[in-house]
């Protein structure tokens, strides 16, 4: 009879049921924190990864142009909406944008939005890199953001949520205080790294337009309804525990006119409720870390 062995684990955190944790509140006694993770990305032309409307060979004009619509048109429509509703944004940026369309990042800078590291391009997975190369990528992206924005980013979302076994360690060693790759909880969690602590801020894969619209082929109306339903349910649940609701968006998807109209409806519904802390991932981390 074969013996049973413990399964391999990541070692970053222990199991802890949400029903058995200490209680706290967000600023002004709010119980639900809501943030927009706004993914602004740039892709290599003629090679590399990217969401697709339809299969195509390289050079993939169809899908490259569809995604570039987000940087040329969609992002500006979304910024108008965020301004109309007075919403802060966590801008998850590829550093390639500084060369391709610096006007876009300048718009977030003027608004005072949080700039969050998101690799150099979403045409590549950082988890495929050797550790030395991944460290160099993180260092180069961090330095470019520091040089352009006057401060280093506090948080990081790996392109395609692609991590190596060392990614949290490398981020902590590079000075990051939180990452957004993990969708395992509705509260911020401390991660262990080989040299210290790193916070994991919940980042959604359900309230996320790529899985919803590209993978599951939800309509614009269905995606907006999902946002509203999630908000209503999490607001009720937050009477028991403080919770985080992230809304992950990409301008080449929700910046399309027919989707933007439904996104406006969903966001306006939450704003008019007046019961949440609209915030950014960095502010959430600062609150739980007592910074």
pLDDT digits (tens, 9 = 90+) for 155-191: 999 999 999 999 999 999 999 999 999 999 999 999 9
Number of domains the chain is built from:
1
Instruction: Residue 232: give the domain boundaries.
Output: 29-46+54-289
Q: Confirm whether 1 is domain-assigned.
A: no
> For residue 123, what is the DSSP state?
T
Nearest partner of 117 among 286, 253, 245, 281, judged by Cα = 281
Residue 8, in any domain of the structure: no
- Flag whether 133 is in a domain: yes
Question: Residue 216: how many CB atoms within 10 A of its CB?
Answer: 12
Q: What is the CATH number of the domain that holds 160?
A: 3.20.20.370
Q: Is residue 37 part of a domain?
A: yes
| 3 state SS of 142 | helix
Q: What is the mean pLDDT of residues 193-216?
A: 97
Q: What is the pLDDT of residue 291?
A: 61
For residue 207, tell me if it sits in a domain: yes
pLDDT tens-place string over residues 222-279: 999 999 999 999 999 999 999 999 999 999 999 999 999 999 999 999 999 999 999 9
Q: Report helix, strand or coil for 155.
A: strand
Q: Are 94 and 120 in contact (CB under 8 A)?
A: yes
Instruction: Give a yes or no: residue 112 inside a domain.
Output: yes
123 within domain boundaries: yes
- Statement: residue 54 has pLDDT above 90: no
198/187 Cα distance (integer angstroms): 14
The answer to whether position 223 is within a domain reads yes
User: pTM score, two decimals?
Assistant: 0.96
């Amino acid at each position: 009879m074969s013996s049973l062995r413990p399964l391999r684990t990541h070692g970053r955190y222990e199991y802890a049921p949400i029903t058995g944790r200490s209680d706290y509140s967000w600023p002004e006694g709010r119980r639900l924190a809501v943030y927009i993770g706004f993914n602004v990305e740039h892709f290599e032309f003629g090679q590399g990864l990217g969401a697709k409307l339809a299969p195509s060979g390289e050079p993939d004009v169809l899908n490259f142009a569809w995604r570039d619509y987000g940087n040329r048109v969609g992002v500006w429509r979304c910024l108008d909406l965020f301004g109309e509703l007075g919403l802060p944004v966590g801008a998850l940026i590829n550093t390639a944008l500084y060369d391709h369309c610096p006007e876009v990042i300048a718009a977030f800078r003027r608004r005072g939005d949080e700039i969050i590291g998101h690799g150099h391009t979403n045409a590549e997975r950082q988890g495929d890199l050797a550790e030395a190369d991944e460290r160099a990528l993180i260092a180069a992206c961090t330095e470019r953001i520091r040089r352009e924005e006057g401060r280093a980013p506090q948080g990081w979302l790996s392109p395609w949520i692609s991590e190596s076994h060392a990614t949290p360690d490398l981020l902590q060693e590079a000075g990051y205080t939180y990452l957004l790759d993990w969708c395992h909880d509705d509260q911020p969690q401390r991660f262990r790294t080989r040299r210290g602590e790193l916070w994991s801020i919940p980042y959604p894969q359900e309230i996320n337009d790529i899985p919803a619209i590209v993978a599951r082929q939800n309509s614009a109306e269905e995606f907006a309804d999902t946002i509203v339903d999630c908000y209503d349910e999490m607001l009720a649940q937050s009477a028991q525990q403080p919770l985080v609701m992230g809304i992950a968006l990409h301008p080449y998807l929700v910046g399309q006119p027919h989707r933007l109209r439904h996104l406006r409806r969903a966001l306006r519904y939450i704003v008019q409720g007046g019961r949440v802390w609209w915030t950014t991932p960095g502010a959430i981390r600062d609150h739980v870390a007592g910074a």
